[in-house]
Amino acid sequence: MPEFNKDSFMRQGYIVLDQGLSKADMQMLEAASADLYRHSDYLLEQLQASGESLNDFYQKNLQELIVVPEIDDGLKVCRYEYIKGFNTVIREQLVPKLQTFIKTLTGDDFVLFKDKCNAKNPGGGAFEPHQDVIAYNHLKPNFHVTVAIFLDEATLENGCLFFPENYRRDLKGHDYELQTTPNGQLPILPSYDGGSSHGAIQQEVVDRIKWQPIVAKPGDVVIFDSYVPHYSEKNGSDKSRRAMFYTFNSLHFGDFYDDYYDMKHREFDNPSFHVATPTAHSKSTV
Ligand SMILES: O=C(O)CCC(=O)C(=O)O
């Protein structure tokens, strides 16, 4: 079991676990990822051949893996979601292990809320600075913990994540709406409403924060809460930078995974599911 620094998690909103997953875990994940990519490619090819929109397809296929293509290439996978719903190995082996990690870190039982893999293909994939909690506000839990798992190396060149050294210290003295959470009173930072930067943190707030890049190797893990701001830049390399994100909520709020993905399958084009994401998927058809 890796070492979990609870104080850092409380103070910064995240921790980094160097090689948090074992070689065996990563082999299992690589095999699962190959299956999930194969299936994603197959779905995008079928949809392109039939001319059906993603929105129409998912309304009729509520148990399917959700695949979001790149805006400029309907056959290229930008991300896929609903991994636990679709892949047995991840459901039975990985998710329970991540629940143990979070229990060790927080002392609490968490259940999976959502999951996804970002392909972050060459030339794209920038995420503006944002707080994840903004994207989840249509369901009850107001505190989530995400486990990010890097399948590929994440570097400055290919768009690693940036997290604040200590955003609450940087933003001291400014009045923001506060939410009561298991990690104390955490702020909802002012964000843009509507337009291409919908959900992104307003620039004057971004400028007050001291950011640091989190470069990572395959098997490294970052665990972060849904309030800590983060962003990533475009992938300037010639290879994809795959990372999986498993987001959990405290069990006492209830289990929302099926409700969340039922809604997402039925309302694929709903812009509230596409907050601060790199491409305008809500408009995409294939
Ligand atoms: O994959 C990335 O580079 C960033 C992902 C992210 O920030 C998010 O999905 O909220």
- For residue 116, give the ligand 1 atom closest to its CA: 9
Residue-level pLDDT, tens digit, the chain, 286 residues: 888 899 999 999 999 999 999 999 999 999 999 999 999 999 999 999 999 999 999 999 999 999 999 988 999 999 999 999 999 999 999 999 999 999 999 999 999 999 999 999 999 889 999 999 998 876 678 899 999 999 999 999 999 999 999 999 999 999 999 999 988 999 999 999 888 888 999 999 999 999 999 999 999 999 999 999 999 999 999 999 999 999 999 999 999 999 999 999 999 988 777 665 554 443 333 2
251: number of CA atoms within 13 Å, CB side?
A: 9
- pLDDT 10s digits, 236-246: 999 999 999 99
Domain count, the chain: 1
Domain range for 238: 11-271
Structural domain includes residue 276: no
Identify the three-state secondary structure at position 152: coil
Q: Residue 202 maps to which CATH number?
A: 2.60.120.620
Report if pTM > 0.85: yes
Residue 241 Cβ < 6 Å to ligand 1: no
Report CA(232)–ligand 1 centroid distance (Å).
7
**How would you list the strands of the sheet with 221-225, edge to edge?**
14-17, 221-225, 144-150, 243-250, 110-118, 73-81, 66-70
Can you read off the two tokens belonging to residue 101?
């990690």
Count CB neighbours of 180 within 10 A: 10
Identify the helix (H) or strand (E) that includes residue 187: strand 184-188
Identify the helix (H) or strand (E) that includes residue 17: strand 14-17
Structural domain includes residue 77: yes
Structural domain includes residue 91: yes
Count CB neighbours of 234 within 10 A: 16
Count CB neighbours of 68 within 10 A: 24
Structural domain includes residue 111: yes
Structural domain includes residue 27: yes
Distances (CA, A) of 188 to 73, 75, 128, 175: 35, 36, 16, 10
Report CA(233)–ligand 1 centroid distance (Å).
10
103: number of CA atoms within 13 Å, CB side?
A: 12
- For residue 161, give the ligand 1 atom closest to its CA: 3
Gap between the Cα atoms of 200 and 130, Å rounded: 5
Structural domain includes residue 174: yes
Structural domain includes residue 94: yes
Q: For ligand 1, atom 5, name the residue with the nearest CA.
A: 127
Ligand 1: residue of 163, 244, 245, 247 to mutate (most ligand atoms within 8 A of CB) is 245
Ligand 1: residue of 232, 242, 281 to mutate (most ligand atoms within 8 A of CB) is 232
Q: For ligand 1, atom 1, name the residue with the nearest CA.
A: 118
Structural domain includes residue 201: yes
The alpha carbons of the chain give a radius of gyration, in whole angstroms, of 18
